[in-house]
Amino acid sequence: MAKNMIIGQSGGPTAVINASLAGAIEYALECNEIENIYGMVHGIQGLLEDNIKDLSAHFANRPSRLNRLRTTPAMFLGSCRFKLSNSDEEYEKIVSQLEKYDIGYFFYIGGNDSMDTVDKLSKYIAKNNIDIKVVGIPKTIDNDLMGIDHTPGFASAAKYIALAVRNVAYDTAIYSIKSVHIIEAMGRNAGWLAASSVLCRDSKNVAPHLIYLPEIPFSVDKFVSDIKAKLEEYNSVIVVVSEGVRDENGKYISARGDKVDKFGHIMLSGTGAYLKEVVEEQIGCKVRALEPSVLQRSAGHTPSLTDITEAQNLGLVAVKAAVAGESGVFSTLRRVSNKPYTVEYYTERVSVAANAEKTVPLEWITQSGNDVTNDMVEYLKPLVRGVPQIPYRDGLPDYVNVSYLDKAKQKYKN
């Protein structure tokens, strides 16, 4: 007998997380085992607060809307950073909500914290012999998920970083005075995004001249001497530094406060701004700190086609797996070959990804600790390839309407 499905998004957004949502919806709309498709607005928190959207009503027989969803960045369903407690009461509330909507299939698109939610919920549901399949769909620009070759969302953010660094390199090469530009990449404790700036190098451009990842303890003194050495050779020195770099005692360079989010992660940013002051004081040349911040994860105008395609397929694979009876798993991919680039989709126990962090292998970082090796370049190259067809209107990307997320606005409209 057909059952309903519910899907939610959680954690930090990416440029392609909606492609996974579109892939799941598209498959579910055609699937005989699935009756109606619901969305949790603001993830599990929305489920608990009964903030539910009827996605069948919104997307069925609207191929153009579904196509625009595929290329709309951020999260159509809104996000949350909500950690499930261990109280039975919370799980009972979730299950009673799922029963209220006659849900047989539950999907959650997110990173390692969201996979923790999938893991805990699937275990509770199995322990209590409840017939609901719980499946995760991966995403994160940080690329720090275990059990997957690379995460959807990472490639598009990597492409943005490489593009931004190349543009900055060209812009800053015009002056004959000495200057330093420090670009701060997101990624928390994993240096994948900072490392992806290496893709901006080609036969015409050697920038970025220095790349610092959190996997190697960061020394301010070495940073200053590295820059001095590069300034001997170049007028304009471009440095990419990960937001999560830490000193030899494990203290974040950026953590001048102790603000944490709901998962207890220290809220990072400000590494570049701090290092700018250091360069100003100790070197005294022209220096700028550039913080792409959310620009790198929201860049809906420059996504990678490879990324969009894989994100969409991972949405589809998750729904297929749940309908086939799998639970407590997430959809994932492995790289089969680099030339030609091919991947294979499968499912993996979600406990592999829950809460764990996959960092950059140390052998992909140079001995000098301020650059990455060719293995990293080979790993990254195929991911950023391809330019998707993005619907445009009046010269700008035509995204789907998410103004319903803004309740005040909705009220005003009605």
Any idea which residues carry the catalytic annotation? 142
The CB-of-261 to ligand F6P minimum distance in angstroms stands at: 6
Question: Residue with the closest Cβ to ligand F6P?
Answer: 12
The CB-of-119 to ligand F6P minimum distance in angstroms stands at: 18
Cβ 325 vs Cβ 135: under 8 Å? no
The CB-of-340 to ligand F6P minimum distance in angstroms stands at: 30
Nearest to 44 by CA among 126, 117, 102, 149: 117
- ∠118-355-105 over CA atoms, to 5°? 10
Cα dist. 56→35, 39, 119, 245, 251 in Å?
Answer: 9, 9, 27, 44, 48
Distance CA 249, CA 218 (A): 10
The CB-of-232 to ligand F6P minimum distance in angstroms stands at: 34
Q: Which residues lie near ligand F6P (CB under 6 A)? A: 11-12, 111, 140-142, 186-188, 243, 267-268, 297
Residues β-bridged to residue 211: 240
**What does DSSP say about strands 392-393 and 396-397: parallel, antiparallel, or unpaired?**
antiparallel
The CB-of-193 to ligand F6P minimum distance in angstroms stands at: 7
Residue closer to ligand F6P (CB basis): 119 or 226:
119
How many other C-beta atoms can be found within 10 angstroms of the C-beta atom of residue 264?
A: 8
Q: Which helix (H) or strand (E) holds 112?
A: helix 112-127
DSSP, res 372: B
The CB-of-294 to ligand F6P minimum distance in angstroms stands at: 7
Residue closer to ligand F6P (CB basis): 236 or 298:
298
Residue closer to ligand F6P (CB basis): 267 or 283:
267
Tokens of 382: 């195929």
DSSP codes joined into one string, 321-349: HHHTT--SEEEEEEEEEETTEEEEEEEEE
Cβ 269 vs Cβ 261: under 8 Å? no
Cβ 295 vs Cβ 384: under 8 Å? no
The CB-of-111 to ligand F6P minimum distance in angstroms stands at: 6
Please report which residue ranges of 128-219 form alpha helices under DSSP H: 154-172, 192-195
Residue closer to ligand F6P (CB basis): 68 or 188:
188
The CB-of-270 to ligand F6P minimum distance in angstroms stands at: 12
- ∠235-157-172 over CA atoms, to 5°? 15
Distance CA 115, CA 111 (A): 6
Residue closer to ligand F6P (CB basis): 62 or 259:
259
Residue closer to ligand F6P (CB basis): 259 or 385:
259
Phi-psi region of 268 (alpha: psi -120 to 50; beta: other; left: phi over 0): beta
Cα dist. 305→163, 167, 310, 363, 399 in Å?
Answer: 15, 21, 8, 29, 17
Residue closer to ligand F6P (CB basis): 141 or 238:
141
Phi and psi at residue 210, to the nearest 5°: -140, 140
Residue closer to ligand F6P (CB basis): 319 or 380:
380
